[in-house]
Amino acid sequence: MVMRWGKDTGSLEKILRGRESKLSGLHCESERNAQLDSFRGSAVLGTPKKLILGTPVFGIGSKMWMMEFVCALLVFFGLLVFGKAEVYIVTVEGEPVVSYRGGVEGFEATAADSDEKIDVTSELVKSYSHHLEKKHDMLLGMLFERGTYKKLYSYRHLINGFAIHISPQQAETLRRAPGVKSVERDWKVKRLTTHTPQFLGLPTGVWPMGGGSGRAGEDIVIGFVDSGIYPQHPSFASFNTAPYGPFPAYRGKCEVDPDTKRSFCNGKIVGAQHFAAAAIAAGAFNPAINFASPLDGDGHGSHTAAIAAGNNGIPVRMHGYEFGKASGMAPRARIAVYKALYRIFGGFVADVVAAIEQVCCYFMTDRE
């Protein structure tokens, strides 16, 4: 929406379209002085006049009050419209790392054949990845003034694009920009639950073929994009199982608990990160219950991790009753946690995509 007021109609239009960062362009002071000058003669004689809005006023004091009110109202409206920012996921032209087969001068192909893995640590991939991110930043720099937007993520491996916190007006500007394929407002996602080893017939089927439950999942890392993990749970303990050896083919990042200063990794858990930039930008993130770390504030992430890769033979007790022993589908598998879902509100696609990008950074790479 574009508002026009007074003689200088361009200033407020530019403000509401995101082309000016200050609301001083309303020129309320100059307009008020002009109105004051036009009313001085009649005010002395007590002759009524009308303002732009058509409201009858008598005397200079009433006119000035009305002008102050109009200025305040327009400033408030301008802030309301221009200040309403949301998270958008933007895709742009150009292939991401996983599907780029050459064609850009100075950058060799990064896509791998079907039976090969992509080494995201190679200079070839890092160079092309940096090239994509630089193009994202150049596009935003050409369209918007610095400080009027916030880029949350650059997506380079699975898709070519970025997540950004901008106003709806700026989103429309992006949609019309050359090279932009899509601009979608971020949306929430919900959690789902999975099954049990007995339902799948694992104890009498796949497990015996691989050496039993004690070896099921050996030398495998399973990545979880979910609500985090509770590392103290016995399903994820490493001290009461056969020692885990080094795992050279996977080197994930491990965040440190901000309260205990202890790593979330313990041998069974080999990677732990959290992603919340979009949730924070949307105002949905509450650090008191969501935790700015991989710690599970919901229980769903720990539940799914235990179902897939939890230790075997863990007693399930509640209120003094035991409900049997729990086991993961692959109890010897190791766990990499990518927290992007949260209590109450679930999560945002921008954070989930960023988490999946990190998953691919480690699982696409053959480091042996």
The bridge status of strand 221-226 relative to strand 334-339 is: parallel
The answer to whether the beta carbons of residues 20 and 10 sit under 8 Å apart is: no
Neighbouring residues of 261: CB distance < 8 A, sequence distance ≥ 6? none
Phi-psi bin for 54: left (phi > 0), alpha (psi -120 to 50), beta?
Answer: left
124/359 Cα distance (integer angstroms): 19
The answer to whether the beta carbons of residues 96 and 157 sit under 8 Å apart is: yes
pLDDT digits (tens), the chain, 368 positions: 333 333 343 433 333 334 333 333 334 444 444 443 443 333 333 334 343 444 444 455 555 556 666 555 554 554 444 458 899 999 999 999 999 999 999 999 999 877 778 888 899 999 999 999 999 999 999 999 999 999 999 999 999 999 999 999 999 999 999 999 999 999 988 765 434 566 667 777 777 776 676 667 777 889 999 999 999 999 998 876 677 777 666 777 899 998 889 999 988 999 999 999 999 999 999 988 999 999 998 899 998 999 889 998 888 888 888 878 888 888 888 999 999 999 989 999 999 999 999 888 776 554 44
Residue 289 in tokens: 């219950």
> What does the pLDDT read at residue 224?
92
Neighbouring residues of 269: CB distance < 8 A, sequence distance ≥ 6? 229, 231, 236, 254, 334, 335, 336, 337
> What does the pLDDT read at residue 94?
96
Q: Which helix (H) or strand (E) holds 341?
A: strand 341-342
Neighbouring residues of 218: CB distance < 8 A, sequence distance ≥ 6? 210, 211, 332, 333
- Burial (CB < 10 A; 0-12, 13-18, 19+), residue 113, is exposed
> What does the pLDDT read at residue 38?
40
pTM of model > 0.85: no
- Burial (CB < 10 A; 0-12, 13-18, 19+), residue 19, is middle
What are the Cα distances from residue 185, in Å, to 121, 246, 350?
A: 32, 42, 10
219/121 Cα distance (integer angstroms): 21
